Structure 1
């Protein structure tokens, strides 16, 4: 039997402003940010189960902070002082350390703070600096790359590609197509030492190059099976040959919808003329700098992680034979990658990210 329906939460304008401010405040703890998200979601009238699913947390967590807020309002979301020895580091010192981590470069000229340099600058211990960074999710030693698309047709292209993922046309095959170029045939300079109890497999960090190959692949988004072909180069001539391979591999009664990036070889006059002569082919281009929209990239990651990263090959022929064998095994039990996000969700997420960047002052 379903449990009792939770009482609705109503927020004052002041409470809503404070909660949204906590979401944007860089010095707010991750726990406080999560609690703010829970309360804002509950205030929209969503049930506990839906809030839990949307935020990836348990229903009990949602119930706990809904009740805490209902009882204590904003003060109910803030952690109370714990029993034990008195604190030696004040809230002001913590906030100053976090702000310094985010806004100032180390005086030594280093590119980023370390626990040692921050400890010297603040007079705290390295362990205290480490605890504070962990509490606020700060990792100065790591960096992630990112790039926002500047394609003027970004929104329309996202809607086109995502729309065909979520609602494929009838009597048609949707293929995510791309090239993995410059795959190197690498051989280690010394034999690989096998896995043994208590010791991982080991290989030398140096290697010998024996040439490269390019892999053209078309991933069937419905079944997960792959049509693939090796070429030593990746010009428009090779792309055209691959289109002919796909054309021969797919039954004639099916239309073909290809999701592609904006690589120049996909748009040459020779390719356009061939496509005009083969009207069952329909191309859907991802926005520039948005390769994450192409599902075949997810399959390339599987190929890299499960095969290429730890393989050794003494020739390009050996490399290509090994990859063909792996693809053959994949196609015996193919696994589709299911796209779940709608175009609106993607656009809203990127808009929120851009707002967060602008609000941060960076």
Structure 2
């Protein structure tokens, strides 16, 4: 019985390039790699039997893919659509579960704060949307549309009067400008705040250092050794930190921090020293500004607007302290906490560089414009925020 002649294969430059990329690509699926190699070897004029030996597949497989490419080109190397088994759920059922996920549980009378995939599966069955449903199926459906009801993000509306005028002073000071006038060489900008309630947690078992294929281990059980407040003043342009620990926050501890900074050079003889602070109780309002100026005539208190303490650069330093000094919290007593913070200050000041602050007044205008557009589109949210 005569054997059918092998289908002749000829490749264009583009087809050869794509086949080589598929045949030798590290991320190419194994089946696609084999099919590409079959076509490339066939284009070299090799017989089907030899191609089968080199690729390690059956002779009939070589014939099939060689014929498919000869008839359809590169699209012929992809798998054909297969009917598979009938779908277990209709499109309407899938859409109903997704719609349920996009509702707040409280709106449906369910005593939950957020949906999880198991809860959604149980609720869909309880509502008779589907007779049975698994949490993994719900997760797969939600993943297709990037719906994550178990997550949440918070926001806050700007309610401070004259927000822009108050906010623009802070980024202007960071670029050494105040009220449109450049700062002189003998003028400084200090960012100050308190980090409250740093606890001393004495672990019941010693912390174990990391080892091969093992992370550092910190015992969960601890004894409480009290808490203290860490007050810090950060020179924005010199990247120098002045800190102190206190039993609690308040006017007197804050003024002690101010005295610690302003009693040394170059601040004692400076023309002006701007103190950027938020609206915490120990330095809030005009009374705090008058109190500071009375104690140090060259000190100028600059408040960030309400709900804008993120403009204060010392918050960045506090995040460094949290990551590198406080966490994981394992201290024998408060004295050890204070010693660690003081030693870290010296270490930080030895190598610190000013933060690369990029939020300018132009960015502030863009932010306010976006909020104005959002308020115009959702006036009910704005009225609720102002009422609060």
TM-score (norm 2): 0.64
Q: Give the alignment of 1:162-241 within 5 angstroms.
A: 162-168=171-177, 169-171=182-184, 172-241=187-256
Change in 2 beyond 3 A, CA 1:199/1:235: same
Residue in 2 that maps onto 1:23:
none
Residue in 2 that maps onto 1:276:
294
Deviation, 1:198, is: 2.1
Looking at structure 1, the residues matched to 354 and 377 of structure 2 have their Cα atoms a distance apart, in angstroms, of 34
Change in 2 beyond 3 A, CA 1:270/1:144: closer
1:300 aligns with 2:318: yes
Q: Deviations over 1:13-47 (max 9, x none)?
A: xxxxxxxxxxxxxxxxxxxxxxxxxxxxxxxxxxx
Q: Which moved more, 1:165-174 or 1:339-348?
A: 165-174
Residue in 2 that maps onto 1:151:
160
State the structure with bigger RCO (CA 8 A, min sep 6), 1 or 2.
Answer: 1
Mapped contact 2:202–2:330 kept (Cα < 8 A): yes
Q: Deviations over 1:312-356 (max 9, x none)?
A: 222211110111111111111113222222321232343455567
Change in 2 beyond 3 A, CA 1:211/1:117: closer
Mapped contact 1:166–1:340 kept (Cα < 8 A): no
Change in 2 beyond 3 A, CA 1:113/1:270: closer
SS of the aligned residue for 1:319 comes to helix
- Number of aligned residue pairs: give it: 281
Q: Deviations over 1:282-301 (max 9, x none)?
A: 12111222221211111101
Residue in 2 that maps onto 1:100:
100
Change in 2 beyond 3 A, CA 1:237/1:128: same
Q: CA RMSD in A?
A: 3.1
Residue in 1 that maps onto 2:276:
259
Q: Which moved more, 1:292-301 or 1:267-276?
A: 267-276
SS of the aligned residue for 1:103 comes to coil
Change in 2 beyond 3 A, CA 1:111/1:201: same
SS of the aligned residue for 2:100 comes to helix
Looking at structure 2, the residues matched to 335 and 138 of structure 1 have their Cα atoms a distance apart, in angstroms, of 41
Looking at structure 2, the residues matched to 310 and 324 of structure 1 have their Cα atoms a distance apart, in angstroms, of 18
Question: Which of 297, 300, 303 is residue 285 of structure 1 equivalent to?
Answer: 303
SS of the aligned residue for 1:215 comes to strand
- Structure 1 gaps, min length 5: 1-81
SS of the aligned residue for 1:180 comes to strand
Change in 2 beyond 3 A, CA 1:264/1:99: same
- Structure 2 gaps, min length 5: 1-78
